[in-house]
Amino acid sequence: MDAAVAQRTEASAAPAMGLKKVFRNAQKAFDLIQKHRTPPDPKTYAVWYAYVDGTDPRVVTRVDETIAQTGGLSPFDIDAIFRELLTEETGVSARHTIGLAIEKEIAGVLKIIETGVQNSDDFGASLDKARQELPNSVSGDDIAKLVSNLMEDNKRMAETTRELNQGLMDSRKQIATLNKELEEVQTQCLRDPLTSISNRRAFDERLEREVRAAAETGEKLCLALADIDHFKNVNDTYGHQIGDAVLQQFASIVTQNIKGQDMVARYGGEEFAIILPETDLFSAYNLLVKIKYNFKSSETPIDGTLKTLKDVTASFGLVRYEPGMTTRDMIEQADHFLYEAKHAGRDRVKAKGF
In single-letter form, the type of residue at position 46 comes to A
Residue 218 — φ and ψ, nearest 5°? 80, 10
The DSSP secondary-structure symbol of 134 reads G
Q: Which residue, 248, 271, 267, 250, is CA-closest to 204?
A: 267
The active-site residue out of 270, 299, 322, 340 is: 270
What is the CB neighbour count within 10 angstroms for residue 122?
A: 13
Q: Which residues contact 269 (CB under 8 A, 6 or more apart)?
A: 231
Pairing of strands 349-350, 314-320: parallel
Would you mind telling me the total number of residues written for the chain in this entry?
354
Q: How far is CA 275 from CA 205, 281, 342, 353, in A?
A: 12, 12, 20, 20
Q: Which residue, 253, 264, 254, 258, is CA-closest to 200?
A: 264
Q: Which class for 274: exposed (0-12), middle (13-18), buried (19 or more C-beta within 10 A)?
A: buried
Q: How far is CA 169 from CA 119, 162, 175, 179, in A?
A: 19, 11, 10, 15
Q: Are 304 and 271 in contact (CB under 8 A)?
A: no
Distance CA 163, CA 321 (A): 61
3-state SS class at 185: helix
Active site residue 270: yes
Catalytically active residues are 270
